[in-house]
Structure formats: structure tokens, C-alpha cells
Amino acid sequence: MKTQNILVGLSLLLLSSCSDFLDKTPLVQTSVQTYYSTDDEANTSIIGIYSIMQNESFQLAPFMIIGDDCSDDSDLGNSNSEAFSWLGSVAQSLQKFDNLPTNWVSNALWAQAFRGISAATQAIESITANSEHLSPAKKDQFLGEAYFLRAFNYFFLTRQYGRMPIIDHVLTYDEYYTPRASIEETWEFMVQDLKQAIELLPKKSEYQAADLGRATQGAAYAMLGKVYIYQGKFQEAYEALKEVVNSGEYGLEPNYADVFTLEHENGIESLFEIQHGISGTGWADDNEGSILSFYEHDADPDDPVKWHNGWSMHCLTADLVNSYEDGDPRLNATVIFPGEFFDGRINENKASSTGYQPKKWYIPYAQRSQVDQSDCPKNIIFYRYADVLLYMAEAANELGKTTEALDFLEQVRSRARLNATQENVLPRITETEKSKLRDLIWHERRVELAGEGQRFWDLARQGRLGKVMKAYSQKYNSIKGQNFVEGKSELLPIPEDQVTLSNGALEQNPGY
């Protein structure tokens, strides 16, 4: 089993990486005064920040256990899954919203994200202090990446835990635990970092092929729009996201299912992906592969071949399956049905608690590592152009720009319609009443982005997490949503050890 090390404090240690632009060894604990005498040294430090996001500890809760399994879209596996024996009860407590500040699954993000924030802040100070040693173009790019990645890590922390301490300089030991800022100050800090990144980063088309996957100006605009959406600032979100739409840098893949293949990683639809590749470094948090695919693959107790199997902890629900319109081809691109012939075999889905398995993070047998399934060569898509279009539809609708909202919505539905094998599916939406159109846009987000770790966070920001999950609990007699408390359960508790180590400087979230 992969080791689970919960780190404390704001470590400046950086992880190594070995895939395309990540094929560098980060510098470790070099002082600000002597950092980065060359472009290569600065580049290596930036790569170290990216590599932190590859960790299971960074990804497991936000993308899978909380992001989907604590929503109405997916569930944990059954007892046929090896992982259920050690992860099941811990994850189920989150599903019930019996959230404890000692839960290692929800706590793991804290240390990893603050490592990223610390490393990005170190890079910003060091690059600035040693700018005369760097070429101007590379200096700007590296600074832009550091600002983007600091905001990226802050975003993950803020949507999970709420307001955060602001780290805008390299901390001394005595400053490690500073009080939390207000939620408004926390969001504004991200906004300013992303505006800095926009001014400094190259466009996607300006990168060489080997550097695809690095932060871009378009990704920074898109992230800025996302930050505004989460605050309900729809005019600002509209303006930021319109820059992405007008850039000409992005579009929709013609075939929806292609978005999730290895061959189309970092493609035209990609705004930002966490990069992964096979490294052969074993079952540990510092390998380069994505273990999320292994969590997703079915655990077949009758299959003796280890690399065929997974942990089946991301089982899509009947509620999600039934939410698709008739003939929507995105359903078959998202779900492996029991008895379906897929990837050269009949899939029995024996470890699925719902009968369904997901396809989006699935890796075909021929492309898997046949040695180490924690080392999966599958990028994790965080942000893609369809998401931008749906945010644009949402923002335009809230601003009374109904025609535009319908057009952005239609772009997403049109792609799916063109993929359909049946006629007269996914009709063009013509609803103009704001609240009804809002519901339709939210539904489109659900089916377009299903299984991508978005559902929980969408429901929380939309203010309907409790309503939806309580209804789910009652409808399916499920533990999920059972103990949701309005005004408390939308956020996770700050890790107890961090509150203790801070000597009270970190205030716990309400109700915990």
C-alpha cells in the first residue's frame, strides 16, 4: 500500500520529477541570496513546485474522495476492493459529513498545498533577487509560473477549508503559524497573484512542444475567472473568461471521448493539467505517475494479474447515470456499464458498489505500467475549455446577457450532439427565464464534467450542497449527506495538529 505521510509545518523541500519539462531535479534548501545563477537553476525550482501537485496526498481528497465521492455523482467501492479495508471507514465519515479534524484524507491537502505555496513564494523572492543572472524572457516566465502556482494552491486550500493565512514572503520560523486572513482578503490575494501571472506568462502557442503543460497566460485568465465565480463576482468572471474565449488559443475537441485519452493530453481543450508519466520509482508519494487511475480501475478478485486490477473507489452512481438526456453520447464516454465489452474484455465491475465504473481516468491495458499501478501515465485534467464555456454561460446569465449565455451553453451541447449516434438528441436550449436557465447550466456542468472531481465543489459554491445531499440520502437510503449541517459542512475542519502547533493562532472553522 502506498505510504501516507501527513506533513506538518511549511516545508520548503521540493520533490523531484521526470516527465518532459518535469525531467529535472529540484534544488533543495538553497538560500535566497545564492539561488538561481542560471536559467536552468530557476527552472529546476519551478519544476519542483509542479511536482508537489503530483502527490497522492495533494490529489486524493480534492479530486476523488471529496470532489466526487462525497457528492451525488460517485461512491466508494465494495469489500472486493483492497482499499476499502483501510480507506472505507475514513472516507465514509466524510460522506456522512461526520468530519473530524483528525481525518487523514481531508487533512492531507493542507501540508502539500502549503509546501507548494512556500516553494512558490521562495521562487518569487529568489528570482526577483537574482534577476540579473537570468534572461529577461525566462525570468518573466518563471515568475509568472510561481505566481500562478501559488494562487493554484491557495485555491485548493480555500475552497476546502475557507479563509487562509496569507504568505507573501519567505517565512521565518516564528512566522510559520500566522492568523487566518478574512475570506475576502484570501480571495483578493489569489486575484493579485493571478493578475501578476497574466502579465508575465507566455501564451500556450508560444511554448515549445516539450513545455506543454506549464502554466500559460490563458490558464491564468481562466483561473482568475474561476476565482471570481467562486466569489459570485460574475462581471469580473465574465471579463476574465472572455479573454480565454477571444484568445483563439483554445477550443473543444471534436470527439468528447478524446479529451480523456493519453494521445490528446495538453490538447486544444486543455487549460491546465497536472502532468504524470511512468517513472518506475515505486509505490511512494514521489513517483511521477497518477495513482488516481489505480483508485478508479475495477478490483476484480477473480483476475490474478495484478496490473489488470485497481481499487475501485470512484464508482459512478445511478443518480448520475439517470441524469443524462436520452442519447447523450457523453454517458458512454463517462461510464463503464456492467457487462460492457470495453478495452478488449467484458467488464463485470465486481468491486463497484453501484454497478458502474468510470472511464475518464481509465488507462487501457496496453498503456499501463505492467509493474507498478501507482505509476499511471495519466494527466489529471483540472481545467478545460468546456468548463470555461459553462462558466461563461453561468456568468452571462447572471448578468442578464441571456443570448450570450445560451450561445455558450449551445457550444458545449453542440459538440455532444455531433458525437451522438441517434438523431434528434440534445435539442438546443431556448429557456430565457434566469433561474430556470441557471438550473439548466448547472445540470450541463454535471453531465459534461462528471467524474472529474468537480461536483462537490460546484454544489458547495452554488449554495445547495446540503439540499442535494440530504435529498440523495433520503432517496437512496444512503449514509451520504446524512449529517450535513448548514453553515458548517460546506467547509472541512482545519487539521487538528495544525491548530495545536499554532498555539491558537489558527482558528478552527465554525462547528468543529
The helix/strand/coil state of 338 is coil
- Amino acid in the structure at residue 151: A
Domain annotation covers residue 432 = yes
Q: How far, in Å, CA of 219 to CA of 235, rounded?
A: 19
Verify that 60 and 195 share a domain, yes or no.
yes
324: left (phi over 0), alpha (psi -120 to 50) or beta: beta
CATH label of the domain that carries residue 108: 1.25.40.390
Verify that 48 and 159 share a domain, yes or no.
yes
Give the range with max mean pLDDT: 78-87, 174-183, 222-231.
222-231
Verify that 295 and 345 share a domain, yes or no.
yes
The mean pLDDT of 11-38, rounded to a whole number, is 46
Q: How far, in Å, CA of 166 to CA of 182, rounded?
A: 10
Residues in Cβ contact with 247 at an 8 Å cutoff, skipping those fewer than 6 apart? 203, 217, 218, 221
pLDDT for 22: 56
Verify that 178 and 259 share a domain, yes or no.
no
Three-state secondary structure of 235-282: HHHHHHHHHHHHCCCCCCCCCHHHHHCHHHCCCCCEEEEECCCCCCCC
The mean pLDDT of 77-97, rounded to a whole number, is 95
The mean pLDDT of 334-346, rounded to a whole number, is 95
pLDDT score of 334 more than 90? yes
pLDDT score of 287 more than 80? no
Residues in Cβ contact with 78 at an 8 Å cutoff, skipping those fewer than 6 apart? 84, 312, 351, 352, 353
The mean pLDDT of 312-333, rounded to a whole number, is 98
The mean pLDDT of 200-207, rounded to a whole number, is 98
pLDDT score of 13 more than 60? no
Alpha helices in 133-276, H assignment, sequence order: 136-161, 183-200, 217-231, 234-246
When divided into structural domains, the chain yields a total of 3
Indicate the residue among 322, 342, 377 that finishes a domain: 377
pLDDT score of 300 more than 60? yes
Q: How far, in Å, CA of 278 to CA of 273, rounded?
A: 16
Question: At 168, is the pLDDT very low, low, confident or very high (cuts 50, 70, 90)?
Answer: very high
pLDDT for 18: 37
> N- to C-terminal Cα distance for the chain?
31
Verify that 296 and 262 share a domain, yes or no.
no
pLDDT score of 23 more than 60? no
Question: Which cell numbers hold the place of 348?
Answer: 463485470
The mean pLDDT of 136-140, rounded to a whole number, is 96
Average pLDDT, the chain: 91
Domain annotation covers residue 324 = yes
Range of the domain at 410: 205-271+382-461
β-strands 335-336, 357-358 pairing: antiparallel
Q: How far, in Å, CA of 8 to CA of 20, rounded?
A: 30
Angle between helix 402-419 and 434-448 (nearest 10) = 30
Residue 464 near residue 393 (C-beta atoms within 8 A): no
Indicate the residue among 344, 377, 410 that finishes a domain: 377
Using CB atoms within 10 A of its CB, is residue 39 exposed (0-12), middle (13-18) or buried (19+)? middle
Question: At 176, is the pLDDT very low, low, confident or very high (cuts 50, 70, 90)?
Answer: confident
Give, for 104, the enclosing helix (H) or strand (E).
Answer: helix 104-129
Residues in Cβ contact with 416 at an 8 Å cutoff, skipping those fewer than 6 apart? 256, 328, 329, 330, 426, 448
pLDDT for 279: 76
pLDDT score of 488 more than 90? yes
Verify that 258 and 351 share a domain, yes or no.
no
Residues in Cβ contact with 373 at an 8 Å cutoff, skipping those fewer than 6 apart? 291, 293, 294, 297, 306, 307, 309, 310
Domain annotation covers residue 182 = yes
Among residues of the chain, what percentage have pLDDT more than 90?
Answer: 81
The mean pLDDT of 197-223, rounded to a whole number, is 97
Verify that 109 and 232 share a domain, yes or no.
no
pLDDT score of 284 more than 80? no
The mean pLDDT of 482-492, rounded to a whole number, is 97
Helix (H), strand (E) counts: the chain? 17, 8
pLDDT score of 21 more than 60? no
Verify that 297 and 239 share a domain, yes or no.
no
Note the pTM of the prediction, 2 decimals: 0.93
pLDDT for 283: 64
Verify that 52 and 192 share a domain, yes or no.
yes
Verify that 179 and 219 share a domain, yes or no.
no
pLDDT score of 345 more than 70? yes
Domain annotation covers residue 256 = yes
Can you give the C-alpha Rg of the chain in angstroms?
22
Using CB atoms within 10 A of its CB, is residue 335 exposed (0-12), middle (13-18) or buried (19+)? buried
pLDDT score of 19 more than 60? no
Domain annotation covers residue 108 = yes
Residue 268 near residue 385 (C-beta atoms within 8 A): yes
Question: At 54, is the pLDDT very low, low, confident or very high (cuts 50, 70, 90)?
Answer: very high
pLDDT score of 308 more than 60? yes
Using CB atoms within 10 A of its CB, is residue 100 exposed (0-12), middle (13-18) or buried (19+)? middle
Domain annotation covers residue 100 = yes
Indicate the residue among 345, 377, 409 that finishes a domain: 377
Verify that 393 and 302 share a domain, yes or no.
no
Verify that 57 and 138 share a domain, yes or no.
yes
The mean pLDDT of 396-408, rounded to a whole number, is 98
pLDDT score of 447 more than 70? yes
Number of C-beta neighbours around residue 434 at 10 A: 14
Domain annotation covers residue 356 = yes
Domain annotation covers residue 397 = yes
The 10 Å CB-count burial string (b at 16+, else e) for 350-384 is: bbbbbbbbbbbbbbeeeebbeebbbbbbbbbbbbb
Using CB atoms within 10 A of its CB, is residue 463 exposed (0-12), middle (13-18) or buried (19+)? exposed
Residues in Cβ contact with 344 at an 8 Å cutoff, skipping those fewer than 6 apart? 365
